[in-house]
Amino acid sequence: MLKSRLIEEKMLILLRQGKISKWFSGIGQEAISVGVTLALDADEYILPMHRNLGVFTTREIPLFRLFSQWQGKANGFTKGRDRSFHFGTQDYKIIGMISHLGPQLGVADGIALAHILKKEPKLTAVFSGDGGTSEGDFHEALNVASVWNLPVLFCIENNGYGLSTPSNEQYNCESIADRGVGYGMEAHVIEGNNVIEVFSKVDAIAKSVRKNPRPVLIEFKTFRMRGHEEASGTKYVSKKLMNTWAKKDPISNFESFLIDKKIISKQDIENFKQSVSSEIQEGLQTAFDEPLIIPDLETELSDVYKPFEYIAVDPESKQKEKRFIDAISEGLKQSMELHPDLVIMGQDIAEYGGVFKITENFVELFGKERVRNTPICESAIVEAAMGLSIAGIKSVVEMQFADFVSSGFNPIVNYLAKSHYRWGQAADIVVRMPCGAGLQPGRFIPKQTKLGLPKRQV
């Protein structure tokens, strides 16, 4: 926690000096990031937000790489394309957020689904704030996790504000944890500024979830001592409230506890501070000495798509006629046979076989784990497909009709399409959208009448 705090204090100085471009402070919330990360195994995925620096430092990412990331240098994780926490790294099993917040919750579902399919006793932890729980993706992701019994810890940091909007204008229940009831989900409220409580309770929950896979909603009560980001300030927060939470500071209180119990001394704390400060200064100097990135058009364009080897298939001379939908069905069947872990997800695609019967009899051939009916939540299912890809599993997502893709448009455009360019993560996903077939429902064609008024025809 101390390392996270000292890094933040240094970043605030660099921000004022113009040496970094922005900063989202987690000062006052360190116990959550550190406690949750310590409760997870090193090979379990964690999906943090921009206020969870303690996740990155607890996973022991070299500081010079973090500093390079925030300065847009090559030793960062996005080749200078992003100077914030919007990145992931498979090396440390950390999956980065996007500014829309909600989509990462569904991505966690997909990673957790991969653990189920691989029969791994692992879980996934994903963070969101109290403001993010108002997004539709939050509700979709919790519903999918509950229906599929996925091992996900939904970690909600309730710090009282979504930027400047207070919690009582974000939701109308006593606690965010109360929402777990609506999804048939276990839920807990934890004092987020007490690192011992955070670690011990999350550790117990995590051990239980590994043995009995299920989703758990955890609300951490905490407070944000700085602005949403440094430019916004904290004028909307009363001085009395700030003083109340300042007394609950997770680091100073833990230091007092350790000293009272004679576990460490004040000199030990000073030694820790000197050691961490030296590590920070050394990492910063490495990042400062690193040359600026010189943009290269060929590199930028080649990083948009993951490289792949094209395999040409020559058609046979023998031909036969078949319906278009039968050809699609056969192609999917061949893919399911070629890739033994390939998953198809969509509405009514299992026993019913899909509205066009494309996947008829697929359940009998491949089983319900690989041919999955989904709730009506296109956004969360696209996100879950991304999670599967992160965990190394291919998937096909069927939109029941092409029009419905608009409900999953955000993760397609801002997650699937950009993740490889941003931090080198491929989206190994096919999104299938039936359209056409000679039908034009809902399409209106204006036709002039003698009166000059349009006459609508379907």
Q: What SS3 string covers 59-108?
A: CCCCHHHHHHHHCCCCCCCCCCCCCCCCCCEHHHCECCCCCCCCHHHHHH
| pLDDT band with cut points at 50, 70 and 90 for residue 162 | confident
Domain membership of residue 301 (yes or no) is: no
pLDDT, position 263: 97
Residue 141 domain-assigned (yes or no):
yes
Are the CB atoms for 229 and 23 separated by under 8 Å? yes
d(CA 93, CA 245): 32
Angle at 95 between CA 405 and CA 254, to 5 degrees: 135
CA 188 to centroid of chain Cα atoms: 21
Q: Is residue 318 part of a domain?
A: no
Q: What pLDDT score does 441 carry? A: 58
- DSSP class of residue 448 equals B
Q: Note whether residue 315 is domain-resident.
A: no
Contact 301, 31 (CB under 8 A): no
**Which is nearest to 31 in space by CA: 187, 269, 182, 225?**
225
**Cβ-Cβ contacts under 8 Å for 235 (sequence gap 6 or more):** none
Q: Are residues 205 and 331 in the same domain?
A: no
Q: 421 with 303: CB under 8 angstroms?
A: yes
> What's the rounded Cα separation, in Å, for the pair 150 and 115?
9
Instruction: Say if residue 334 is in the same domain as residue 243.
Output: no
For the chain, give the percent of residues with pLDDT over 90: 78
Residue ending a domain, among 289, 310, 343, is 289
For residue 357, the enclosing domain spans 325-432
pLDDT of residue 140: 97
Query: Domain check: are 39 and 109 in the same one?
Result: yes
Q: Could you tell me if 63 and 123 lie in one domain? A: yes
Same domain flag for 265 and 403:
no
The predicted pLDDT at position 457 comes to: 38
Q: Which residues contact 388 (CB under 8 A, 6 or more apart)?
A: 110, 111, 113, 114, 343, 394, 395, 429
Give me the percent of the chain exceeding a pLDDT of 70: 95
Flag whether pLDDT at 301 surpasses 80: yes
Q: Is the pLDDT of residue 455 over 80?
A: no
Residue 305 covered by a domain: no
pLDDT value of residue 343: 98
| Residue 280 shares a structural domain with residue 366 | no
Asked if residue 282 and residue 334 are part of one domain, the reply reads no
Overall average pLDDT of the 146-151 stretch: 98
Pairing of β 161-162 and β 165-166: antiparallel
Q: Does residue 392 share a domain with residue 280?
A: no
Task: Name the residue with tokens 């996903």.
Answer: 429
Residue for token digits 């697929």? 362
Give dist(CA 327, CA 105) in Å, integer.
35
Q: Which residues contact 138 (CB under 8 A, 6 or more apart)?
A: 102, 105, 128, 132
**Six-digit token string for 167:** 């919690």
Whether the Cβ atoms of residue 130 and residue 170 lie closer than 8 Å to each other: yes
Q: Given its phi and psi angles, is residue 149 left (phi above 0), alpha (psi -120 to 50 degrees) or beta?
A: left
Q: Are 427 and 415 in contact (CB under 8 A)?
A: yes
3-class state of residue 423 by DSSP: helix
- How much is the mean pLDDT over the chain? 92
- Phi and psi angles of residue 396, each rounded to the nearest 5 degrees, phi first: -120, 125
Structural domain total, the chain: 2
Q: How far apart are CA 4 and CA 1, in angstroms?
A: 5
More confident of the two residues 235 and 350 = 350
Q: Would residue 252 count as lying in a domain?
A: yes
Residues 378 and 251: their CA atoms lie apart, in Å, by: 42
For the stretch 371-395, pLDDT in tens is: 999 999 999 999 999 999 999 999 9
Contact between 157 and 130 (Cβ < 8 Å): yes
242 and 334 within one domain: no
Give the CATH number, domain containing residue 80: 3.40.50.970
Q: Is residue 267 part of a domain?
A: yes
pLDDT of residue 418 exceeding 80, the answer is: yes
Q: Do residues 283 and 339 both lie within one domain?
A: no
Do 251 and 134 belong together in one domain?
yes
Total residues belonging to the chain: 458
What is the amino acid identity at position 78? T
pLDDT tens digits, 237-264? 899 988 999 999 999 999 999 999 999 9
**Mean pLDDT, range 321-328, rounded to an integer:** 93
Domain boundary residue among 289, 313, 344? 289
Q: Average of pLDDT values for 309-331?
A: 90
- Bigger pLDDT: 77 vs 166: 77
Radius of gyration of the chain (CA): 25
Contact 217, 177 (CB under 8 A): yes
Residues 251 and 345 in one domain: no
Domain boundary residue among 289, 316, 336? 289
DSSP per residue, 291-342: PPP---HHHHHHTTS--------PPPS------HHHHHHHHHHHHHHHSTT-
Residue 457: inside a domain, yes or no? Answer: no
